[in-house]
Amino acid sequence: MQGTADFALCYQGGTLRLVGYSDADRSVDRDERKSISGYASILGGEAITWCSKKQQCVSLPTMESECVACTAAIQEAIWLRRFLQSLSVTGHLGEAVVLHYDSTSAIAYARDPNYYGRTKHIDTRHHFIRDIIAQGQIESMGIEYKNENKCC
């Protein structure tokens, strides 16, 4: 941290839109077989929050570990939007936060309440994703792997 006291985030104007990126890697921990979740929250083109940590549960399908990561990203996005609104930050904060992630099965699970497939066992806390999308607070977006933002 020494020598960085004068560093700052610089917003160049324009629209302040809150965007999230989420990803998970499958069971990298060889002992516990737990995945690592990562997310980043971007405001006006600058990362303002980010996190990378081991998931607390063992995920069976890859889609489940992606849903765990998305849940954490959505919780952060909801808190950030409220925090920014309390600071009277203007922009597109009333609109749905766009959340990008690269799992097509997790996107199908999040968008379609009838998507049942191999999801019967998933903890109800991760059904939170569906509710938030249905309420219009989050817009679920896929991201092509080749264009994936490597900030998480």
Q: Does 150 have pLDDT greater than 80?
A: no
Distance from C-alpha of 89 to C-alpha of 102, rounded to nearest angstrom: 30
Q: Does 144 have pLDDT greater than 90?
A: no
Domains, the chain, in order of start with CATH, read 18-147 (3.30.420.10)
Say what the pLDDT of residue 90 is: 72
Q: Which is more confidently placed, 48 or 114?
A: 48
Distance from C-alpha of 106 to C-alpha of 104, rounded to nearest angstrom: 5
**How far apart, in Å, do the first and last CA atoms of the chain sit?**
21
Picking from 100, 36, 45, the residue whose alpha carbon sits closest to that of residue 74 is 100
CB 128 within 8 A of CB 74: yes
Interhelix angle 104-111/62-86, rounded to 10 degrees, is 60
Convert the pLDDT of each residue in 21-76 to its tens digit. Answer: 988 887 666 777 788 889 999 998 889 999 998 887 777 666 777 778 888 898 89
Say what the pLDDT of residue 102 is: 77
